[in-house]
Amino acid sequence: MKIIVNHDDELLKYLCDNLDMPRKKIKQYLTHGSIYVNNTKITKHNYRLVKGMNIVIDTNSKTKKVLPFDVVFEDEQIIVVNKPSGLLTIATNKEKEKTLYHIVSEYLKSKNRNAKVFIVHRLDKDTSGIVIFAKNEIIKNQLQENWNEYVRLREYVAVVHGKMKKNEGRIVQNLKETKTNLVYVSKKGEGREAITNYKVIKDTNMYSLLSISLETGRKNQIRVAMSSLGNPIVGDKKYSVINDKEDRLYLHANRLKLYYPVLKKEILFEVSNPPEFKKIMNR
């Protein structure tokens, strides 16, 4: 389906106003990367259209059983995906459909209408990287109940502001959360212990690229740890006092080693660093 834009507008609004198609279906095409503007795939609902642009909707793409992000691993029990930054893992009161859970669920149901999906763990909305979903409640419970035992390695890559004082370190802190969902470093004996290890991969005058591994899994743990050292993560609008203009949080879950009870062996899930990480380090 091809459309020539006849006035300036936002993409979703324009399509809803000019197509005889339910809004929900249009949003699905956007979510699944089936809409192209001037030959470029667009998924943002508020993408600005200019008169004369060409819009192409690939109406057959829904039957191709593809996702707008990489599937790292999939079998009959689990599916492991590479979550993009800016996407909620699960629904909130404000957002029900534009979530990783909903997209993965739609993908599985396009192959089997009776398919189910269960969240095993999650990442912050602004963090990208590896997320595991279960396809049945049995494996979901098994993984969740034994998570700390089964997970052998949790690694992230991050870009932080400035140079680190040490090339590697082990950060041991106690963390608490305010009523407004802000995590902070508390006094010894209060809150929950959080242990974060880091190592500098590369640095410049402005930024440091870090490899980070976790010994614990607390909410916002890495973000708070880096901010407390005076090297907040680039793009962190919540825990940084530095007013940078980056449009994403430079934190990416790139490696996860897990004992997989179905196969009775350890599996290492690994994804590449987002290209913007390399770009910012080359500035």
Q: DSSP characters for 37-89?
A: ETTEE---TTPEE-TT-EEEE-TTGGGG---SS-EEEE-SSEEEEEEPTT-BS
Identify which of 63, 125, 128 has the alpha carbon closest to the alpha carbon of residue 88.
125
Identical fold at 71-145 and 151-253?
yes
Determine the Cα–Cα distance for residues 173 and 196; give it in Å rounded to an integer: 9
Q: Give CA 144 to chain center in angstroms.
A: 19
Q: 71-145: which CATH architecture?
A: 2-Layer Sandwich (3.30)
Ramachandran area for residue 157 (φ above 0: left; ψ -120 to 50: alpha; else beta): beta
Instruction: Note the pLDDT of residue 242.
Output: 87
Q: What is the pLDDT of residue 268?
A: 97
215 Cα distance to chain centroid: 20
Residues 232 and 222: their CA atoms lie apart, in Å, by 9
Options 8, 20, 124, 247, the catalytic residue? 124
Q: Which residues pair with 266 in a beta bridge?
A: 259
The stretches of 175-274 forming alpha helices (DSSP H) are 221-228
On the question of pLDDT at 66 being above 80, the answer is: no
Is residue 247 part of the annotated active site? The answer reads no
Beta strands 251-260; 207-214: pairing state: unpaired
Residue 40: which pLDDT band, with cuts at 50, 70 and 90? Answer: confident
Give the C-alpha separation, 54 to 66, whole Å: 24
**What pLDDT digit, counting tens, does each position of 213-245 carry?**
999 999 999 999 999 999 999 999 999 988 888
Question: What is the greatest pairwise CA distance in the chain?
Answer: 64
Rounded (10°) angle between helices 23-31 and 11-18:
140
Q: Record the pTM.
A: 0.77
The span from the CA of 244 to the CA of 237, in Å, is 8
Question: Could you read off the pLDDT of 169-223 as tens digits, one per residue?
Answer: 999 999 999 999 899 999 888 999 999 999 999 999 999 999 999 999 999 999 9
Q: Where are the domains of the chain?
A: 2-64, 71-145, 151-253
User: Please, what CATH class does the domain formed by 2-64 belong to?
Assistant: alpha beta
Element (H or E) spanning 157, and its range?
strand 151-161
One-letter amino acid at 143 equals: L
Q: Specify the 3-state DSSP secondary structure of 96.
A: coil
Is pLDDT larger for residue 93 or for residue 266? 266
| Overall fold of domain 151-253 | Pseudouridine synthase (3.30.2350)
Residue 65 has pLDDT above 80, yes or no: no
Report the first-to-last Cα separation within the chain, whole angstroms.
Answer: 40
Asked whether residue 96 carries a pLDDT value surpassing 70, the answer given is no
Contact between 88 and 95 (Cβ < 8 Å): yes
- For residue 181, what are its two tokens? 């969902």
- Looking at residue 112, its pLDDT comes to 86
pLDDT at 32 over 60: yes
